[in-house]
């Protein structure tokens, strides 16, 4: 996003045109939002599925299934023994 904002500004300067405020504002808001979301993810806040890489989500699903299997096995052993 930062490079998009810089490229758009440089391209407008090279063509000697005024960059519309809406373009700068939109790219700036997206930049701030992506930095904020990245900071939250870095701090360990769980992210929604659409913001996670596929491998992270698949690992999360696999770990959850493993925990469920262990819990069910433990319950079955408790009932039998």
Domain match, 33 and 52 both: no
Q: Cα(first)–Cα(last) distance of the chain, in Å? A: 59
Q: Is the pLDDT confidence value at 69 over 90?
A: yes
Instruction: List Cβ neighbours of 5 (8 Å cut-off, separation of 6 or more).
Output: 24, 27, 28, 31
Domain match, 30 and 68 both: no
pLDDT average, residue stretch 64-68 = 97
Q: Is the pLDDT confidence value at 81 over 70?
A: no
What is the extent of the structural domain holding 66? Answer: 48-81
- Number of domains present in the structure of the chain: 2
**What is the predicted pLDDT for the residue at 65?**
97
Domain match, 40 and 63 both: no
Q: Is the pLDDT confidence value at 9 over 80?
A: yes
Domain match, 7 and 38 both: yes
Q: Is the pLDDT confidence value at 6 over 90?
A: no
Q: What distances in angstroms separate CA 39 from CA 12, 26, 33, 34, 35, one per listed residue?
A: 31, 20, 10, 8, 6
Domain match, 8 and 41 both: yes
Domain match, 53 and 28 both: no
Domain match, 40 and 5 both: yes
pTM score, whole prediction: 0.55
């Amino acid at each position: 996003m930062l490079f998009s904002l810089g490229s758009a500004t440089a391209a407008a300067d090279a063509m000697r045109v005024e960059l519309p405020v809406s373009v700068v504002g939109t790219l700036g808001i997206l930049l701030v939002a992506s930095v904020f979301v990245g900071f939250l993810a870095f701090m360990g806040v769980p992210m929604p599925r659409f913001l996670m890489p596929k491998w992270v989500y698949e690992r999360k699903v696999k770990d959850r299934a493993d925990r469920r299997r262990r819990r069910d096995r433990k319950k079955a052993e408790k009932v039998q023994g």
